[in-house]
Structure 1
Amino acid sequence: MRTFKLEQSKTEVITPHGGLAVVGYSLNTMTSLAKTSRTIVKRHGISNIDLIRTYLGLICLGKSDFEAVEQTRHDDFFKAAMGIKQSPSSARLRQRFDEDAQALIPLLDEASVEFLHNASISVGTLVTGHVPLDIDVFPMDNSNSKKEGVAYTYKGHDGYAPIAAYLGTEGWCLGCELRPGNQHANKEFIHTLDRVLPRARHLTEAPLLVRLDSAHDAADNRAYFRAHGVDYLIKWNPRSQDGLAWMDKAHAAGALWCHVRPGKMETLVSEPLDGTGDRLIVKVTVRQSDAKGQMFLEPEVSLEGWTTSLSSEIADEATVMALYCDHATSEQFHSEFKTDLDLERLPSGKFDTNDLVMAFAVLGYNILRWMGQRALLGPDAPVRHSAKRRRLRTVMQELMYMACRLISSGRQLSLRFGRNCPGFKAFSRVYGSA
């Protein structure tokens, strides 16, 4: 077996994460953070934009802890790629974020939407011609910690429950606001809509279809959507509805029953909602026996329903159910925040600082998503199975963690990739379009 002689160069700068060049270029040319960050006045110390560039670079590498910045303080490539003039220490980064979290969060939110607009992203539509806007809460496990805002979540563990909004079939993130773990999903939801809907309008002129789960089945939400001219599709919360009464209502309406198997039948009942043209669609399932043929003493009736502003001419009952089923895709986007970006456990003990970390994550998420859509779906991309989008982990594996050599010659910085680098063509295409 051949063994290798190990050597460490004293002059060459070789990096394992060449994709930072795209992240830094996107941040510095497609957002105005370098200008807006100056509104947070500091008499001395490291500039706000250098703090932003440093932590965003870490987030895009899947590193959320502040201590990871110590590895980059003397990394010439990291500083050159992100445009950093002065690198902070981990203690200074944490301290400044604790001080300025509330002032930085709106700047990052605006920069994220600004990036998506300047990047001329494509926003996928549904069969109805609507652009989906999926809003949902997801739990983040921060058990065995005393962080501010950590509480018992609906998943049965202590943590946070942020609410995220995704636009289009690609899953562009318009916001991910941190919330205490025990906060109900519908609490302050109208304020979330006030922030998210203008961002969606800024990115697309197509009609929107807001899709929500049953936690948001409330008359106030439906009235809000009607007042703002936005279509909605919400999972119905049956609460204390009587199943037998709905079965009788279906019989009285002359509904057609589908016998799924012996002892089980189901039908759909549709009726007006709130005295408007909106609809409530209820799927009534009656079981007189189990799957093995064991008869019940009384029939079991289960209800599943959806409220929607989509007319029957645009979407029949089957289409409405399929559209809501597609809402579950947003669960994949949640997992990318928690696993790919390593944000299951947030790094700070302060709630506002962790909320700022989520704002950084939204911007990093959108940059990585854009890189995947631009570079990893073409014929010259590294060999992967065909897909409509690439998850963030794939983008990080194929583009972010590309080894290259930093060369400085004639006041010009160059990146030299390996002869057999499989992602070079894709990388050069996305960097050239940034």
Structure 2
Amino acid sequence: MQSTAWSKGLRVTADGTGVVSHVGAALLRMLADRVGLTGALSTVLTRREWWPGHDRGRVLTDLAVMIADGGEAICDIDVLRHQGEVFGPVASAATCWRALDEIDEVRLRHINVARAKVRARVWAMLGQLPVARAAGRDIGAGVVVLDVDSTIVIAHSDKEGAAPTYKHSYGFHPILVTCDNTGELFAVRLRPGNAGANTAADHLDVLTDAFAQVPTAHRRHLLVRGDSAAATHAVLDWLTEKGRKRGRTVEYSIGWSISENEHDAITTLPTTVWSPALAANGGVRDGADVAELTGLLTLPGWPDGMRVIVRRERPHPGAQLSLFEERDGWRYTAFITNTRTGSLQWLEARHRAHARVEDRIRCAKDTGLGRLPSREFAINTAWCVVAAIAADLIAWLQLLALHGDLATAEPKRLRYRILHTAARLVRGQRRQWLRIPKSWPWAEQITGAFNRIAAIPAPG
């Protein structure tokens, strides 16, 4: 009886006043304003002799806040719109549709320029860029690590661009670039479902956008990681050329397909050249070894200085092995890099840290990318850019205003603990006060975050 007694005498009415929900969304909205994102988007989306009822920079920022808050459809903007006592005037769903429909290729480029400008300001506020890590150690102070990968977004209806995918599903095949240092989503390119995984032109487009997102002061040393889909002549030649610019180092660590040439080279390796691989914590990985194949391979046409490193490990139960692997019982994977220093074990562990991009993609799908709202490809493309802005807002909130476990929490946890918090709205002393229940475990962290964001100097 005790387990059900909590609802005894409970009644629900719809006549409450002074209570607002999704208080944490105001954190993101205020952050966007204070770092200059709203103003920058307003500037680049302004058109001559055209005065819309709702500023388009404000509309896109509100859409990004709605997506970060867990919205999955444009009509979810009503969650903010119907709390005007806190958020003020918010555009309707119809206006949001029109705003997305107005974004063409030219405006997409302008939006990316605005994002890069604001990102430079945010990174300047950080003082020191977070250092990416692998195998329990820093990859290098000042090294900006970019992870490129593609994913499948399932479509449950016949949308423009939706097509059968190589994974025998139906939908889209976007390609993304994330920053391992900060968790930001630098660039995303929506592609039809039948787009190739190793299409060099698409990789170059998204990498070009991502490089432009790196603030100029931090472009001196870049590391690009990817899987074997990025291992094409065009991509590697482009990265090599970028690294030849004066004062800039561009390293790569990219998966490499193992063919008969690699099989032949592996069979000639003496047992003594294999070194134990490193685990994620920096210790020795039991049952895994690494070795270099570069000197045993003929690599005509590939960039000078490219190294091929192979890893072997005992397969887990149920793993699918090739005929070559079945002969000796090892499972082999390889990657290429132009990094000249560091042990093979360290370079291989640094490459395996690329797997974190899967977590970034999963979070991106949970923040707008997983459900595309329109039948029109152009609107869905604009939606993906707004989703990237939403991912950036979450990353900036964690970098600039949160501490402890919330600074590394995934979006879903942030929503349950911060963004969806309810509070009482009180007016007095010519101010509005949001009073969060003192019993809420994360109340102090929310108020602290508000104070830190409010202290950010207004953009000039």
TM-score per shorter chain, which class?
0.7 to 0.9
Normalised to the residue count of structure 1, the TM-score between the two structures is: 0.82
Normalized per residue, the structure richer in helix is 2
Identify the residue that residue 196 of structure 2 maps to in structure 1.
Answer: 184
Q: 1:194 to 1:335 in 2, by over 3 A?
A: same
Q: In structure 2, what residue type is equivalent to 1:133?
A: L
Q: 1:357 aligns with which of 383, 399, 405?
A: 383
1:235 and 2:243 correspond: no
Query: For residues 426 and 409 of structure 1, what CA distance do their matches in structure 2 show?
Result: 24
Distance apart, 1:258 and its partner CA: 7.6
2:69 to 56, 61, 71: 61
Once the two structures are superposed, the pairs formed by residues 164-183 of structure 1 within 5 Å of their partners are 164-183=176-195
- Paired residue secondary structure (2:269): helix
1:20-419 correspondence runs (5 A): 20-30=25-35, 31=37, 32-39=40-47, 42-77=50-85, 79-80=87-88, 84=89, 87-119=90-122, 120-121=125-126, 122-126=129-133, 127-129=138-140, 130-142=143-155, 144-187=156-199, 188=201, 189-202=203-216, 204-205=218-219, 207-229=221-243, 230-241=250-261, 243=263, 245-251=264-270, 255-256=272-273, 268-271=291-294, 274=302, 276-283=304-311, 303-311=332-340, 314-339=341-366, 341-378=367-404, 389-419=408-438
C-alpha separation in 1, matches of 2:185 and 2:54 = 29
In 1, Cα distance between equivalents of 2:386 and 2:365: 14
Taking a change above 3 Å as real, the CA distance of residues 392 and 88 of structure 1, as seen in their structure-2 partners, is: same
Unpaired runs of 5+ residues, structure 2, are 244-249, 278-286, 320-324, 454-460
Whether 2:427 is the aligned partner of 1:422: answer: no
Does the 8 A contact of 1:63 with 1:342 survive in 2? yes
**Gap change, CA 1:41 and 1:233, over 3 Å in 2:** farther
d(CA) in 2 for partners of 1:387 and 1:20?
15
Task: Provide closer, same or farther for how the CA distance between residues 255 and 357 of structure 1 changes in structure 2, counting only shifts above 3 A.
Answer: same
Paired residue secondary structure (2:187)? strand
Question: Could you tell me how far apart the structure 2 residues matched to 1:202 and 1:63 are?
Answer: 33
SS in 2 for 1:433: helix
Amino acid at match of 1:271: T
Letter matched to residue 88 of structure 1: A
Alignment of 1:4 onto 2:48? no
Query: Whole-Å Cα distance in 2 between the matches of residues 408 and 47 of structure 1?
Result: 27
Q: Distance in 1 between matches of 2:339 and 2:159?
A: 43
Task: Tell me if structure 2 keeps the 8 A contact 1:174–1:199.
Answer: yes
1:21-40 deviation line (CA, Å, top 9, x unaligned) = 21111222212223332247
Structure 1 212/52 Cα, relative in aligned 2: closer, same or farther at 3 Å?
same
CA distance in 1, matches of 2:335, 2:363: 28
| TM-score, with structure 2 as normaliser | 0.78
Contact 2:150 2:176 in 1 (8 A): yes
Distance 2:371 2:275 in 1: 47
Deviation sequence 1:380-421 (CA, Å, 0-9, x none): xxxxxx587221112222221111122334542222211223
Among all aligned residue pairs of Structure 1 and Structure 2, give the percentage whose two residues are the same amino acid.
20
- Per-residue CA deviation, residues 279-331 of structure 1 (Å, 9 max, x unaligned), is 112346799xx99xxxx9965776421110111xx322111211111100110
Name the residue aligned to 1:382: none
**Structure 1 residue 275: Cα displacement:** 6.5
1:17 partnered with 2:22: yes
Query: Distance in 1 between the 2:59 and 2:227 partners?
Result: 37
Distance 2:276 2:447 in 1: 57
| Matched residue SS, 2:435 | strand
Specify whether residues 389 and 50 from structure 1 end up closer, same or farther in structure 2 by C-alpha distance, changes over 3 A only.
closer
Amino acid across the alignment from 2:72? S
RMSD: 3.2
Q: Secondary structure at the match of 2:77?
A: helix
Asked if 1 retains the 8 angstrom alpha-carbon contact of 2:314 and 2:330, the reply is: yes
Q: Distance in 2 between matches of 1:209 and 1:44?
A: 43
Relative distance call for 1:432 and 1:117 in structure 2 (3 A) is: farther
Q: Which one-letter code corresponds to 2:352 in the other structure?
A: C
